[in-house]
Homo-oligomer: A and B are copies of this chain.
């Protein structure tokens, strides 16, 4: 097996230069901002969400992926819409602590935890702490419109 460390020899050969096709690196900055990817409003203003910024990291910037990657950050006291939809969410926590409600269950989550929200599950992300709560959220590029529970 060559999946163990300590025995790797990086091939000296490197590829000849090839035309660049749009590959790039978005640089992370302290404070969880990315050069060239502005933090924006989560949704149009409404009373069913509060204190969230949304940063589009991939999939909505000219890429052809079947998915979008966004970073959401919820300020202390903030919360996302309590909603459901057919499409699934995959969330990976990067910053702080928060809680996610999925159906009748509430889970506290922090760095590295992976949250899977199944189709049609009523869900909400909340920050009851004193530090920002930030997470990546991946979704299908083609997806249905969320339905808030009001």
State whether A19 and B103 are in contact (beta carbons under 8 Å apart), knowing that A24-B116, A90-B57, A112-B32 are contacts in the complex.
Answer: yes
Tell me the dominant secondary structure on chain A's binding face.
Answer: loop
Chain A residues touching B, range: 35 or more
Q: Are B47 and A2 in contact (CB under 8 A)?
A: yes
Taken together, the copies of this chain in the complex come to 2
Assess A66 versus B69: contact at CB under 8 Å? Given A1-B41, A4-B51, A17-B103. Answer: no
Interchain CB contact under 8 A, A2 and B50: yes
8 Å CB contact of A113 from B20, B27, B50, B114: B27
Distance of A110 Cα from B149 Cα, bound (Å):
39
Interface residues of A (CB under 8 A from B): 1-11, 14-29, 32, 34, 37, 41-42, 45-53, 57-59, 63-67, 69, 75-79, 82, 88, 90, 92-94, 100-105, 107, 109-123, 126, 128, 136, 138, 140-142, 149
